Amino acid sequence: MTHDQLTGSDMAAAIAEYADDRKAIDIVELDLRGVLGYADYFVVCSGNTDRQVKAIHDGIHMEMKRTHGLLPRRVEGLPQAQWVLMDYLDVVVHIFTPETREFYRLEQLWGEAPARAVGSGAEQ
């Protein structure tokens, strides 16, 4: 599927899958349509270490480019890798270390948005 065919929902699902492939933990898709003006979805996940956070970023970046021809509009936080943000416009990806995720508590901040746990660690 190319960018022209990829909806925000499809993009969020693909990104969550690529994060899961890199063993991201606690993957959550937040549906922010009608809540936020600058993105339709957040994909929030964690890596146990800064090295794993970078590996999750690299996996998402590589697969989105290879499979969909998409590069993020911007990436922030990669050198420290405590919180990496990848902006794909319709979808913003947040990759945290567990401590940083607990500190910022994005899921609670956007608590009114529908959330869906994703990945091999998600409750079925």
Range of the domain at 108: 3-118
Q: What is the CATH number of the domain that holds 95?
A: 3.30.460.10
Number of domains in the chain: 1
Helix (H) or strand (E) holding 26: strand 25-31
Query: Is the model's pLDDT at 1 over the cut of 60?
Result: no
The pTM of the full predicted model, rounded to 2 decimals, is: 0.92
Separation between Cα atoms, residue 21 and residue 35, nearest integer Å: 29
124 within a domain of the structure (yes/no): no
123 within a domain of the structure (yes/no): no
> Which percentage of the chain shows pLDDT scores above 90?
77
Separation between Cα atoms, residue 113 and residue 95, nearest integer Å: 19
Give the confidence band of 2 by pLDDT, cuts at 50, 70, 90. Answer: very low
